[in-house]
Amino acid sequence: MAIGIYKPGQGYWVRVLTAVAAGLLVLATAAWLWKETAALDLPSAAWDVTLTGSSGAPTVGQRVEVLGRPDGAGAAQSLGTMEVAAFTPSEFRPQIRLVKPQLNEGAVPSAVQTIRAEGFSGEVAGEGSGVRPIPIVDRLYVQGGLAGLALLLGSALVFWLVGSRPSSSEFLIATDGEMKKVNWSTRREILGSTWVVIAASFLVAAALYVIDLAFQWFFVSIDVLQR
């Protein structure tokens, strides 16, 4: 398959404007993908948990028991265990990163409210809202990758259709030739036609207004409408 431009210099403006219009569609597609993937629910590899306070300090690699209310009501119960990946002590808002969940069926990390282990305990801030999932892949990378792929494939497709593919290029070249045969109106003719359309629009509007008044008078006179 030829990669170069098919018959370069022929049908220039039609091919350029077609490429511009197609490029705008490609950009719109990339923007749509960027927006849609912003709400993509990516699988999580870790969870950063903000605590209201803690007693003791866990060690990295230690498995801790997590407790919470899976159905949002009732007493807190054990949800399973998770592994400590990091711990940042603080007087007010200590943070712990948990990985490798081994939870009961139906339990999710976002339901965690209490963390405890030998020599350590902590309460999650904000009734579970202190649990922040860390996606396995940064969402920004997914957005940029999909949008960039759309731009790359779209650009290649536009180039192939407009510049390299013989059949579509011949059509655009022929279109350019036909456009050169068109007898374009002069500026004076366009202005004259525009004023005619404007005047006709006002005349039609005035006629409809008069007809509306006539119908209103008629229906008022036969007591169908009230003044």
Please tell me the predicted confidence (pLDDT) of residue 23. 96
Residue labelled with tokens 């690699």: 61
* 51 has pLDDT over 70: yes
Q: Which of 81-85, 139-143, 211-215, 220-224 has the lowest mean pLDDT?
A: 220-224
Distance separating alpha carbons of residues 27 and 120, to the nearest angstrom: 53
Whether 147 and 33 have beta carbons less than 8 Å apart is answered as: yes
Whether 69 and 77 have beta carbons less than 8 Å apart is answered as: yes
| 104-159: pLDDT as tens digits | 988 888 889 999 998 899 989 876 578 999 999 888 999 999 999 999 999 999 99
* Inter-axis angle of helices 139-159 and 12-37, nearest 10: 160
Mean of per-residue pLDDT scores for the chain: 90
